[in-house]
Amino acid sequence: MSGKAPVKPLNILYGVDDKPPPVMTLVLAIQHVLLLTGNFIFPVLIVQSVQGPGEVTQGMISMSMIAGGVAAIIQALNKGPVGSGYLVTEGGSEPYLPAAFLAVQTGGYPLLFGMTMVAGVFQAFISRIIKRIRFLFPPEVTGVVVFMVGASIVPVAVRLFLGVDGMAAPVITPPGLIVGIITFAVIVGTNIWGRGNLQQYCMIIGIIAGYILSYFFGFFTPDNFAQLRQSPWLDLPNVGYLGWSFDIRILVPFLIAAVCASLKCVGDLTTCQKINDANWKRPEMNNISKGILAEAVKTVFGALTGGLAHTTSSSNIGLSLATGATSRVIAYVTGGLMILMAFFPKMAAFFAVMPQPVMGASLIFCITFMLLSGIQIILSRMIDTRKTIVIGTAIAFGISVDMMPGLYSNLPAALQPLFSSSLTVATLTVLILNLIFRIGIAQKKTIQLFPGEENNKKIFDFMETQGGAWAARREVVLRAAAAMNEFIESAASLELSAEPIAMEVVFDEFNLDINISYCGILMEFPQIRPGEQDLLADENAFIKLSGYLMRHYADRIKSEYKDGRCFIQFHFDH
């Protein structure tokens, strides 16, 4: 991490640089491991999509454990070019799931791992240029991608949840529906009404309840029990399925998955920065770049060893905040425990035989957070007509893939991979439309105002329009508008100028500046409030008082008198 040293917030007991007592560290690490176990459903889903044997599922789970453990350790490194230095574990595979299904059904496990390796290399490239291409990923783009990560898994999750049997003529099976509903109810109930750490364990509690129900409803076959009995307690992971191949026809879905994973990583690391620094203002991109590179290294390592690609776990970051413990030491112990678990095959086998309704209930629970996270990211900025069209069009074309299967089947073979999943279509659409609709949007805009006129509505309408076009943060735009309005009213009441006052608004992703120029008396902005005696003795004291009050709006103010004109800049951190 770079820049000024972070200030530990009051609600954080063990900060990122602190070292909790050994026993406390172990307990906190075990909690993180328990929360991560719900993500073992992703290897199960991929293997079951091709009716693969349980041995492959066990091996993939074990190797994903090792890769996830390595990722937690690498991500926590705070020196060198790799690692954000935060407690950030690797959890779900949602962004990679559509591409993974396509790869394993097209060319088996070797194609899955080969293309995953390519995605990891591409993500490493993204980490090197993320600061330069940030303009490609404004909040409306990031929010759509996060939303569609969840939406793209809805068809699979709902089918599993409802206990649907068969693809051509789906039929809901009552036992499967009952198991799915009760499992989901236990997860949600524990999360909402559970006390203490029960909320953090809601996923694993729901899965256990689902297993018990599945036993009574006959979802476990003799083969499942045999697989559990035959799995040893201690053994090396099975990697007999491991191999690598490449198919350029499905390259684009994996590249898009890498972009989606990178965007999710940006969001999660930004959250880590914010919860670990009471003075946080904006994302620190050097730190984020190293964090994305750490995830890329883990993705390549996982593909080389037979583990799945994972993304940063938002739920585990929430657990860190809930427990008030964000120490990177916890990440080291969590990673070690994950690696150790990989050598206990019976545990992997337990998840390999997970019944479909239980998987569906767990997936839907995860999806709800992904969908709402995407919406929150989109609504975190002001939205105008252009942004509305970009967002709505991307989502509409994205969900069309799942709503109308086969809709794009008549496209040329070379274009088929681009329309293979709703996530791919939505991401490409939002990226292209965002670039197109940026045309004609000026990064600076000027408004002329006459002191003494009714300027309040002019200012706020002007800033509302520009804030929407720039997708700026609403609270920053409102503060800027209030500062502009306060200045023009002061200019009239204090008779600073009898001529029009030019206000130029300049915006980029990090800054919003109001550059004011006029002929007349220079407004002063003292650091100390003028007292009663000053108001009586100094004829310019009221100008100083007004300037002092304006300091509450802006983060920084500069003023100077040059060549017969007054120049003032209100700066707002964005």
Q: Indicate if the pLDDT at residue 167 is higher than 60.
A: no
Max avg pLDDT among 90-104, 191-205, 225-239, 502-516: 502-516
Tell me the pLDDT band of 301, cut-offs 50, 70 and 90: very high
Q: What does the pLDDT read at residue 538? A: 63
| pLDDT score, position 76 | 92
DSSP H or E segment with residue 165: strand 164-165
Burial of 369 (0-12, 13-18, 19+ CB in 10 A): middle
Q: Please, are residues 355 and 210 in contact by the beta-carbon 8 Å criterion?
A: yes
- Can you tell me whether residue 556 is helix, strand or coil? strand
Q: How far is CA 498 from the centre of its chain?
A: 50
Q: What is the pLDDT of residues 423-435, one digit of tens each?
A: 778 888 988 898 8
Kindly state the average pLDDT of the residues 357-361. Answer: 82
Question: Stretch 340-356: mean pLDDT, rounded?
Answer: 74
Q: Select the more confidently predicted residue: 364 or 519.
A: 519
What is the arrangement of strands in the sheet containing 444-449, beginning at the earlier edge strand? Answer: 444-449, 501-507, 511-518, 565-573, 556-562
**What Å distances lie between residue 76 and 135, 328, 342, CA to CA?**
28, 6, 20
As beta bridge partners, residue 556 has: 571
Identify the three-state secondary structure at position 381. Answer: strand
Q: Are 391 and 378 in contact (CB under 8 A)?
A: yes
Long-range CB pairs of 384-389, under 8 A, 24+ apart, other chains included: 384/465, 384/468, 384/469, 385/468, 386/437, 386/441, 386/469, 387/140, 387/437, 387/468, 387/471, 389/433, 389/437
Candidate from 48-52, 428-432, 443-447 with smallest mean pLDDT: 48-52
| For the chain, percent of residues with pLDDT exceeding 70 | 89
Q: How far apart are CA 572 and CA 568, in angstroms?
A: 13
pLDDT at position 501 over 90 = yes
User: What average pLDDT does the segment 551-555 reach?
Assistant: 86
Region 387-403 average pLDDT: 90
- 158-167: average pLDDT: 71
The domains of the chain, with CATH numbers, are 22-437 (no CATH), 444-573 (3.30.565.10)
The single-letter code of the amino acid at 30 is I
The pair of three-digit structure tokens given for residue 427, joined into one six-digit string: 């991401």
Write down the pLDDT at residue 448.
93
Q: Using the 8-state DSSP alphabet, how is residue 521 labeled?
A: P
pLDDT, position 421: 74
Average pLDDT of the chain, as a whole number: 83
Residue range 315-333, pLDDT digits in tens: 677 767 767 788 999 999 9
Rounded to whole angstroms, the Cα distance separating 488 from 520 reads 13
Burial 127-155 (b: 16+ CB within 10 A, else e): beebeeebeebbbbbbbbbbbbbbbbbbe
- Residue 141 confidence (pLDDT): 83
Residues 30, 310 contacting (CB under 8 angstroms): no
Residue 172's DSSP bridge partners are 164
Question: What are the pLDDT digits (tens) for 235-263?
Answer: 787 787 888 999 988 888 898 888 878 87
Residue 441 · residue 434 · CB < 8 Å: no
Residue 146 in contact with residue 370, Cβ under 8 Å?
A: yes
The span from the CA of 62 to the CA of 203, in Å, is: 19
Q: How confident is the model at residue 304 (pLDDT cuts 50, 70, 90)?
A: very high
Q: Evaluate whether 16 touches 276 at the Cβ level (below 8 Å).
A: yes
Contact 293, 300 (CB under 8 A): no
Does residue 2 register a pLDDT over 70?
A: no
**Nearest CA among 338, 272, 325 for reference residue 24:** 325
Between the alpha carbon of residue 280 and those of residues 6, 135, 141, 373, the distances in Å are 8, 21, 23, 21
Residue pLDDT, tens place only, 65-117: 899 899 999 999 988 889 999 998 887 677 788 788 889 988 889 999 999 99
Per-residue pLDDT, 409: 77
pTM for the predicted model, two decimal places: 0.71
Greater model confidence, 547 or 479: 479
> Which pLDDT score, from 0 to 100, does residue 536 have?
60
Per-residue exposure over 226-249, b if at least 16 CB sit within 10 Å of its own CB, e if not: ebeeebeeeeebbeebbebeeeee
Contact in structure between 553 and 546 (CB atoms under 8 Å) = no
